[in-house]
């Protein structure tokens, strides 16, 4: 209880905002290369054996990596209930499309090699491509819509009303963010393939990784320009209690051009995030050319960290702005669970998150090494 008293409500809110970012970045870094490998499957592998090599580079780890998505969803549900309610109801069809695509992955892995038919295997290869491309695209589209604001409003009793449509999410800026997400995760998947394969597969992955990295740099720059010129940001214009009960209606919000860049002027250290986004991608280009396989994968993780962190830092303290009712926008200070709930969750996280990280590190150490033809043809456990 002493620790509960020392950790003020506003401190816990910021800690859980940071932890939510950690979980989302963890998902992009860990499961992101799985999605990227799925998107590269038809291009990096030309023969059936090569495609089996591509699949088996992620075969032992993809299920564990997907846990980060479940952790992120669970954290939103428990720590930020209004955010969960708006996003998982307003983006229902988009979430359904993501889940449907993700379901194709385990089915594709299990059934692809059950028959010798080339048509059978080619169709499952297409399914695995869809299972990588659709989630990568829609996650990026979702981030683009969050930056623009989502059309929801709150009644006086804090009931949520969502006024948007699925196709309204597919606007130009959101699609730009979706393409950035696809390019970023393709870059990451290519770097994983370069690390885990050899020969023609690794050579093709290196070439496609270079293209995807150049696309990531270009689309990230275009996204920043578009955010400055065409997307209005949000800022709180009234006093707000950082330790009071969660009530999104207890504030006023102004919408103005360039507001998402105000945090960088007020806190210059935040510029480190977009710098790391660009720098990591540039270092990926160097690493691919210099054939520094491990370093290149770390550089792509650095780029992903910088790109995603720049979104969170730009928006802080907002976590989901509202276009229909700006004053109802959800922020770190007025959309969280109770003080006690956040504290109990933090204790559980401090205990179990290091265990998850340690187990994951042990599993990757155990599975270290490249996947080659002998691994596919010499044993009965390969996909």
Residue ranges of the domains in the chain?
7-369
What's the pLDDT at 169? Answer: 87
Q: What is the pLDDT of residues 229-252, one digit of tens each?
A: 999 999 999 998 888 889 999 999
Half-sphere exposure of 123 (CA within 13 A, CB side): 9
Mean pLDDT of 121-132: 94
Q: Supply the mean pLDDT for the chain.
A: 92
Distance in angstroms (rounded) separating the CA atoms of residues 68 and 201: 28
Is 220 a residue whose pLDDT tops 70? yes
Distance in angstroms (rounded) separating the CA atoms of residues 308 and 219: 14
Distance in angstroms (rounded) separating the CA atoms of residues 376 and 289: 28
- Which helix (H) or strand (E) is 346 found in, with range? helix 339-366
Distance in angstroms (rounded) separating the CA atoms of residues 83 and 248: 11
What's the pLDDT at 381? Answer: 67
Is 167 a residue whose pLDDT tops 90? no
**Closest to 346 (Cα-Cα) out of 67, 84, 19, 6:** 19
Is 93 a residue whose pLDDT tops 80? yes
Instruction: State percent of the chain over pLDDT 90.
Output: 72
Choice among 7-16, 183-192, 218-227 with the minimum mean pLDDT: 7-16
CA 359 distance to own-chain centroid: 22
What's the pLDDT at 1? Answer: 53
Distance in angstroms (rounded) separating the CA atoms of residues 218 and 233: 22
**Closest to 25 (Cα-Cα) out of 245, 239, 301:** 301
Is 5 a residue whose pLDDT tops 70? no
Higher pLDDT: 380 or 87? It is 87
Distance in angstroms (rounded) separating the CA atoms of residues 354 and 343: 17
Res. 26 pLDDT band, cuts 50 70 90: very high
Distance in angstroms (rounded) separating the CA atoms of residues 257 and 232: 4
What's the pLDDT at 151? Answer: 94
> How many residues are present in the chain?
383
What's the pLDDT at 6? Answer: 63
Q: What is the pLDDT of residues 314-337, one digit of tens each?
A: 999 999 999 999 999 999 999 999
**Closest to 283 (Cα-Cα) out of 264, 261, 310, 305:** 305
User: Cα–Cα distances in Å, from 102 out to 9, 107, 365?
Assistant: 37, 9, 26
**Closest to 383 (Cα-Cα) out of 46, 38, 53, 130:** 53
What's the pLDDT at 255? Answer: 95
Give the 3-state secondary structure of residue 151.
Answer: coil
Q: What is the pLDDT of residues 36-75, one digit of tens each?
A: 999 999 999 999 899 999 999 998 888 888 888 888 888 9
Half-sphere exposure of 283 (CA within 13 A, CB side): 19
Which two three-digit tokens encode residue 163? 């006024």
| Dihedral of the alpha carbons of 13, 17, 23, 27, in degrees to the nearest 10 | 160
Res. 2 pLDDT band, cuts 50 70 90: low
């Amino acid at each position: 209880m002493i620790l509960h008293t020392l950790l003020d409500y506003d401190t816990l809110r910021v800690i859980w905002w940071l932890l939510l970012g950690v979980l989302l970045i963890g998902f992009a870094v860990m499961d992101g290369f799985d999605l990227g490998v799925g998107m590269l499957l038809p291009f990096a592998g030309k023969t059936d054996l090569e495609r089996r090599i591509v699949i088996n580079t992620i075969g032992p780890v993809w299920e564990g990596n997907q846990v980060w998505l479940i952790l992120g969803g669970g954290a939103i549900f428990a720590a930020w209930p209004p955010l969960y309610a708006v996003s998982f109801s307003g983006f229902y069809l988009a979430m359904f499309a993501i889940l449907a695509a993700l379901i194709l992955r385990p089915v594709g892995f299990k059934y692809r090699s059950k028959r010798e038919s080339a048509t059978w295997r080619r169709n499952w290869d297409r399914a695995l491509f869809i299972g990588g491309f659709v989630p990568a695209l829609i996650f990026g589209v979702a981030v683009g819509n969050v930056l623009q604001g989502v059309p929801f409003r709150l009644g006086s009793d804090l009931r949520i009303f969502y006024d948007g449509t699925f196709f309204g999410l597919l606007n130009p800026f959101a699609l730009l963010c979706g393409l950035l997400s696809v390019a970023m995760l393709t870059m990451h998947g290519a770097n994983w393939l370069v690390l885990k394969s050899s020969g023609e597969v690794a050579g093709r992955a290196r070439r496609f990784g270079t293209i995807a990295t150049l696309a990531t740099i270009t689309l990230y720059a275009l996204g920043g320009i578009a955010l400055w010129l065409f997307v209005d940001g949000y800022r709180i214009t009234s006093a707000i209690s950082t330790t009071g009960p969660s009530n999104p209606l207890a504030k006023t919000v102004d919408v103005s051009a360039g507001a998402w860049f105000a945090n960088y002027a007020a806190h210059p250290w935040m510029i480190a995030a977009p710098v790391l986004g660009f720098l990591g991608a540039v270092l990926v280009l160097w690493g691919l050319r210099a054939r520094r396989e491990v370093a290149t994968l770390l550089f792509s993780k650095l780029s992903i960290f910088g790109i995603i962190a720049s979104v969170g830092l730009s928006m802080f303290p907002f976590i989901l702005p509202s276009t229909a009712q700006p004053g109802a926008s959800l922020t770190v200070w007025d959309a969280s669970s109770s003080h006690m709930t956040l504290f109990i969750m933090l204790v559980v996280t401090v205990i179990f998150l290091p265990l998850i990280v340690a187990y994951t590190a042990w599993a990757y150490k155990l599975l270290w090494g490249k996947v080659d033809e002998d691994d596919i043809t010499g044993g009965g456990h390969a996909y």
